[in-house]
Amino acid sequence: MGRTKTPQLTLPGLRKVDSFLDSPWPPYVIKIELVSGCSVGCKFCAVRTPPDNWMPIKGLVSVLDEIRSLRWESRIVFSMHGDPSYHPSLVETLQLTRERLKNMNSIAVFTTGAGWRGRSLEMLDQVVRHGEPNCVALGDYGTGFAGRIRSGEYLALESLLPNLRVGEWPGPKWANPDRRFRSDERILSLCADPIRSKNVHNQSGNAYPETNYAEGRQCNLPHREMTIRWDGTVVVCENDMKGELIVGDVSIDGVEKTWRSAAYEAARSRLTAGDRSQRPCSGCDRLTTGRAARPALTDRLGGRV
Ligand code: SF4
């Protein structure tokens, strides 16, 4: 019996993926820096400046509206180089995000709760209940807040929100904050200190010394993640703390044009060829060639899984 031909993977509205260097797909995750700066000073993190800026609502709305009009189903993650809990109107910002994107995109917030000191449980309650992110990833470092929840302080809220699942990460797959969530999922993920879970990299030499450990190795992060800073500039990846390689500005060119900018494409080409000679990639020890080496999967294409 002859072998059947494997069908070509295409999605409506997208060009055929011809090669790894050809990047027509949307980012599978868009990371948005609501706040720049954080005062916690976690050992594994390079951010050392206190919170000093946050993304203007107008800028965020125009990003969200474009994502919606493009029908990109990318995961939206509020993280980057500052803790979102310092944002003066985080709940309203999350509400606005949910209103604009409806259930098209999975939404997650990464925080330690550092900005909620004195009213941490109340703020977490509001974020989960009224902000309606699919996942709050609460880091168990710096503030000790996740530990208090683990010891039982959050049980009352969990019983009020019957669809909320509280879990440890690393732990069961459903508690993984780096996955795509179903629209009806509400997860509180208590994330272990990355140093203890041995999941630390040098953040391009910003957190730990530069190294040639990954020299000549591919990096596929800019193929799959778009990282938007508070002021609209887009950096090559989340490790670019100082903005050493800015590949565009969504406040000038919008989201799609920036994602396909010549500077972005040049960085992708270099990194796919294993060329890490340019900052911030020189000295970076991060390897991203696992799942990312198979970009033509539904999730890599910003589609639902
Ligand atoms: S090599 Fe490092 S700094 Fe460069 S894009 Fe990859 S993860 Fe980011």
Tell me the residue type at 202: N
Give exposure, 177-211, as e/b (b: 16+ Cβ within 10 Å).
bebbbeeeebbbbbbbbbeeeeebbbbbbbbbeee
- Looking at residue 141, its pLDDT comes to 76
Question: Are the C-beta atoms of residues 204 and 283 closer than 8 Å to each other?
Answer: yes
DSSP label at residue 115: G
- If phi > 0 it is left, if psi is from -120 to 50 it is alpha, else beta; for residue 109 that is beta
3-state helix, strand, coil in the chain (%, to 5): 30, 15, 55
Q: Residue 281 C-alpha to ligand 1 middle, in angstroms?
A: 5
Q: Using CA atoms, how far apart are residues 92 and 138, in angstroms rounded to an integer?
A: 19
Residues β-bridged to residue 226: 30
What whole-number percentage of the chain has pLDDT above 90? 51
Average pLDDT over residues 21-45: 82
Q: Residue 213 C-alpha to ligand 1 middle, in angstroms?
A: 13
Nearest CA to ligand 1 atom 4: 281
Question: Are the C-beta atoms of residues 41 and 10 closer than 8 Å to each other?
Answer: no
Question: Mean pLDDT score of the chain, rounded to an integer?
Answer: 83
**Best mutation site among 202, 221, 272, 287 for ligand 1, i.e. most ligand atoms within 8 A of its Cβ?**
221
CB atoms within 10 A of CB 150: 14
Question: Tens of pLDDT along 209-235?
Answer: 888 888 888 898 898 899 999 999 999
Q: Using CA atoms, how far apart are residues 27 and 15, in angstroms rounded to an integer?
A: 15
Question: Tens of pLDDT along 64-104?
Answer: 999 999 999 999 999 989 999 999 999 999 999 999 999 98
pTM equals: 0.86
Nearest CA to ligand 1 atom 3: 281
For tokens 């459903």, name the residue. Answer: 174
Question: Are the C-beta atoms of residues 17 and 63 closer than 8 Å to each other?
Answer: no
Question: pLDDT at residue 200 above 80?
Answer: no
**Phi, then psi, of 199 in degrees rounded to 5:** -120, 60
- Looking at residue 151, its pLDDT comes to 78
Nearest CA to ligand 1 atom 8: 237
Q: Using CA atoms, how far apart are residues 204 and 236, in angstroms rounded to an integer?
A: 11
Nearest to 80 by CA among 112, 47, 102: 47
